[in-house]
Amino acid sequence: MTKQHSKFSVFGLGPIGIEILRSAYQTNPHSIIGVIDIDPEKIGNDIGLLINEKQTGLNVVSSIQEVKTNTDHPVALHATGSNLQQVWPQIKELLDHGFSVVSTCEQLSFSWDRYPELAKEIDDYAKAKRLSVIGTGINPGFIMDTLVICFSTVLTTVNKIIVNRRVDVSKRRIPLQKKVGIGMPKEEFESLAEQNKIGHVGLEESVRLIAYGLNWNLTSVKNTIEPTIAGDNITVPLTSLKPGDVNGLHQVSKGKTSNGREICLDLTMSVGINQEDEIIIEGNETQRLIIPNGIFGDTATAAMVINTAKQIDTIRKPGLLTMTDIGLPRNIYQSEFARI
């Protein structure tokens, strides 16, 4: 039985955090019990001012200690960074104050293979607190992993999985445009790529999450990244591009098993391309799923975080979880008039 209402604190008010706050408020204004950020220009402001709503009487605070948690099993909606080692202290503090955590940290979506010691530490700590921790979003979290796992249900055998995602990054937030190298020289992009300091975070995690969900044992995972190059003069929110400038990236992660099964995730995030999401699964037959125009990541990530929070609030399963551990992901209706 689903609870009539869940209670959230939003931790981190960058572009995605603001979108999460806006979506949670518009879904149910009474669901938000706290909003935390370290930006001095946001601290003390009524949250309504940040999301173009009327004043709410709830102000942004600088620490979780300032949030009153007179409710059963609150959930923190955490959106501060991609690096798991850097955000773990924040998540730990949230657990210490009685919050389960749903985070947009990409490396948290499946951390057991790449960061086994840290994953075990998080899992043990959350279990000791009888709370849940999970990483999710649209990618990783859904379009290139969870949806793929669900789609595999219609085949009796699966031998190969191909996922193609095409994103027109000119329509996305400026921090993402920076993350994919918009406007930098090709040589600078390639240098940063060699140091693993540029690109989409989470593609390998999606490969490993699919394998985990399908009970495949991967023997190798290989990642490649290259810039896409502007052919014309064009202006995007971040900067103006000229021919030869980097206007995005093409990133691929491939996983293989010893018996020849394959997963290939192919992501292009570039200026001006036609957007589309495509899943192809080959096995006893071939099935293909196409989403014309693709799923817009920012608003969809907010929805994923909120609905996943409702899900973990319902199942009450402690530890470090993945999207395969929480049952069928879905939109869970809760009355906006429900109060504590």
Q: In terms of domains, do 182 and 302 share one?
A: no
Based on the fold, state whether residues 12 and 83 are members of the same structural domain: yes
Nearest to 77, CA basis, from 40, 120, 34: 34
The pLDDT of residue 339: 44
Q: For all residues of the chain together, what is the average pLDDT? A: 95
Total of domains in the chain:
2
Tens-place pLDDT, residues 229-278? 999 998 888 899 999 999 999 999 999 999 999 999 999 999 999 999 99
Question: Which residue type does 307 have?
Answer: N
Per-residue pLDDT reduced to its tens digit, 308-333 = 999 999 999 999 999 999 999 999 88
Whichever domain contains 290, its CATH number is 3.30.360
Average pLDDT over residues 167-188: 91
Q: Is the pLDDT of residue 69 over 90?
A: no
The answer to whether residue 166 is domain-embedded is yes
pLDDT higher than 90, residue 70: no
Residues 125 and 240 in one domain: no
Best CA proximity match to 104, nearest among 288, 243, 301: 301
Are residues 33 and 94 in contact, defined by beta-carbon separation less than 8 angstroms? no
Q: Domain of 31?
A: 8-137+298-321
- What percent of the chain is predicted at pLDDT more than 90? 89
Give yes or no: residues 314 and 268 share one domain: no
Specify whether the CB–CB gap between 276 and 295 falls below 8 A.
no
Q: Are residues 52 and 170 in the same domain?
A: no
* pLDDT for 1: 46
pLDDT in tens, 34-54: 999 999 999 999 999 999 999
CB count in 10 Å sphere of residue 16: 23
Average pLDDT over residues 208-230: 97
Would you state the pLDDT for residue 323? 98
Position 2 in a domain = no
Task: Assess whether 170 and 275 both reside in one domain.
Answer: yes
Q: Is 337 a residue whose pLDDT tops 90?
A: no
pTM: 0.94
Backbone phi, then psi, for 36, in 5-degree steps? Answer: -125, 135
What value does the mean pLDDT take over residues 105-118? 97
Q: Which band of pLDDT confidence, cut at 50, 70 and 90, is reported for residue 336?
A: low
Fill in the amino acid letter for 79.
A
Same domain, 124 and 262: no
Q: Which residues pair with 246 in a beta bridge?
A: 229
Q: Which of 35-44, 158-167, 174-183, 254-263 has the least mean pLDDT?
A: 174-183
Quick one: 317 and 244 in the same domain? no
